[in-house]
């Protein structure tokens, strides 16, 4: 009867060590760095926008003309008004919106029916994405062995034996001991412990 009880306890202990019950509600991902495994605690993805300003000036004679369309001139014209308009320097400004944060400004200067100069100003915000991974060292099983003497007032050394303690990666501790008392009786001991804090 004693041997059956011992084998049952030993079998239960081995099953609990080999197949520990899961106590974590969330299963963590694993990362391997330099042949060592780590638990991934969390991923953080952060996006920040950094503005970049660019200005480019182009001379009018470098801008190629595409098409010339001639229009008939009416007989009654105000030559002074035409010359005044022809010699006037006109500035045209246009804005192109690329997205909610980025713009391109175009400034054209026109005189004598041609482009004297063009200026492009760009205000573009580039996204910089930072991915951070937070790791903790992966838990592993630890095994300890040692002596297990017991003492009392009468016999001083009541029993002596050897024992093993196994700490699982789930922070559970199991103990198993085998010894002999001062009457030459075999003693088996086992235990299970849970982490409180």
CA atoms of 72 and 134, how far apart (whole Å): 75
Q: What is the pLDDT of residue 1?
A: 58
**DSSP H helices in 42-113:** 79-87
* Whether residue 23 has pLDDT greater than 50: no
CA atoms of 155 and 159, how far apart (whole Å): 9
- Token code pair at residue 27: 């299963």
pLDDT digits (tens, 9 = 90+) for 124-147: 888 889 988 887 776 677 888 888
CA atoms of 22 and 197, how far apart (whole Å): 17
| Mean of all residue pLDDT scores within the chain | 81
16: three-class secondary structure by DSSP: helix
Give the confidence band of 106 by pLDDT, cuts at 50, 70, 90.
very high
Give the confidence band of 88 by pLDDT, cuts at 50, 70, 90.
very high
CA atoms of 90 and 112, how far apart (whole Å): 10
* Whether residue 2 has pLDDT greater than 70: no
Q: What is the mean pLDDT of residues 43-58?
A: 88
pLDDT digits (tens, 9 = 90+) for 89-105: 999 999 988 887 788 99
Place of tokens 């308009």: 85
Report which of 115, 107, 114, 109 is spatially closest to residue 55, judged by C-alpha positions. 107
Half-sphere exposure of 74 (CA within 13 A, CB side): 5
CA atoms of 50 and 25, how far apart (whole Å): 39
* Whether residue 49 has pLDDT greater than 70: yes
Q: What is the pLDDT of residue 104?
A: 92
Place of tokens 């630890």: 142
In DSSP terms, which residues pair with 127 in a beta bridge?
49
pLDDT digits (tens, 9 = 90+) for 174-195: 888 888 887 888 888 888 888 7
Q: Give the domains, in start order, of the chain with CATH numbers.
A: 2-33+139-194 (3.30.1300), 46-132 (no CATH)
For 80, phi and psi rounded to 5 degrees? -65, -45
DSSP at 60: G
């Amino acid at each position: 009867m004693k041997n059956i009880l011992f084998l049952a306890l030993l079998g239960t202990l081995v099953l609990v060590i080999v197949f520990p019950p899961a106590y974590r509600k969330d299963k963590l991902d694993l990362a391997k760095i330099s042949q060592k495994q780590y638990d991934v605690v969390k991923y953080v993805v952060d996006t920040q926008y950094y503005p970049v300003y660019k200005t480019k000036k182009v001379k009018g004679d470098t801008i190629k003309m595409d098409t010339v369309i001639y229009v008939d001139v009416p007989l009654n014209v105000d030559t002074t008004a035409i010359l005044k308009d022809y010699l006037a320097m006109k500035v045209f400004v246009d804005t192109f919106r690329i997205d909610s944060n980025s713009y391109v400004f175009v400034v054209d200067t026109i005189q004598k029916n041609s482009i004297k100069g063009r200026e492009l100003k760009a205000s573009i915000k580039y996204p910089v994405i930072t991915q951070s991974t937070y790791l903790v060292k992966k838990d592993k099983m630890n095994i300890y062995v040692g002596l297990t003497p017991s003492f009392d007032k009468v016999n001083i050394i009541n029993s002596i034996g050897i024992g093993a303690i196994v700490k699982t990666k789930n922070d559970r501790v199991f103990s198993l001991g085998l010894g002999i008392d001062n009457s030459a009786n075999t003693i088996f001991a086992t235990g299970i412990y849970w982490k409180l804090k």
